[in-house]
Amino acid sequence: MKIHFFKNESHFYPRLSYTYENAKNVPFVDRCKKIRKSMPWILLIPSFVFYILFRRQLPFMFYSWILPLHIPVHELCHTLFCWLCGRKVARICFFPNKFRLTGAGAYVKPSFGVFSKYQTILLFAFPFLLLTVLPAILAVFIPTWREELLLLSLINLAGSTWDMMDVYNMFFLPKNGLYFGDFAVTVTDETKPVIIHKLYVTNDMDGIHHKRFTYENGKFTENDSVYDIPDTIRLKKEFTEQFNLEG
């Protein structure tokens, strides 16, 4: 697992495309598009109001540290869920949009593989459960830490806004949908394996990389050999023209 600052996926892969056999694409529809950018800022207001009201009980040090520290801890919660599912994490990227305030402050990129619908929902919801719901419950039972726990809960509520919008969007995924991070599919014929072809170029521009994966009986494996189908031939032609590469 690598940690990067000020880089996003386009830095690692100038182009990345997938095509598949025995699977149908499930288009991603963002049902929260209109409120996506403004919502985290609106949800930060309760944290400020809470701090103003309870600042006598809260040491300033706690308040000044919890804001920046909450970001890596939040990302570690996503990472923890990947590990619990037996998945590796390829990288955590902090400030992927530099200092553009309307984009995500950080994200976790799991290594290529598959999540079921409910694993995907939990992947997005995990920091909300651990850093918003859990501290709110603990605040009831631990009066000495009540203000600190409630402030953490509120700050992470704002930090989880985009995650919770993704959770909402994911509820519309079909029940048997397979989520691969960059795309989602449904299986056409359950008795046959799903074959995924991953094509990409790296920043080294050392040609077109082609990898093949199989999903069968709940197991996801990378195959040693690759072959072409009409879609991979079409994509390779597109890559070659776009980057002046040899196929």
Chain positions contacting Zn ion, by CB under 5 A: 163
- By beta-carbon proximity to Zn ion, the closer residue of 105 and 113 is 105
Minimum Å gap between C-beta 206 and Zn ion is 33
Minimum Å gap between C-beta 107 and Zn ion is 7
- By beta-carbon proximity to Zn ion, the closer residue of 167 and 245 is 167
Q: Identity (one letter) of the amino acid at 155? A: I
Instruction: Give 74-78 contacts, CB < 8 A, sequence gap 24+.
Output: 74/106, 74/127, 74/131, 74/156, 74/159, 74/160, 75/106, 75/107, 75/108, 75/127, 77/126, 77/127, 77/130, 77/131, 78/108, 78/123, 78/124, 78/126, 78/127
- By beta-carbon proximity to Zn ion, the closer residue of 123 and 149 is 123
- By beta-carbon proximity to Zn ion, the closer residue of 147 and 163 is 163
Residue linked to tokens 């109001």: 49
Minimum Å gap between C-beta 124 and Zn ion is 7
Helix axes 134-141, 146-159, angle to 10 degrees: 170
Minimum Å gap between C-beta 92 and Zn ion is 11
Question: Which residue of this chain has its Cβ atom nearest to Zn ion in the complex?
Answer: 163
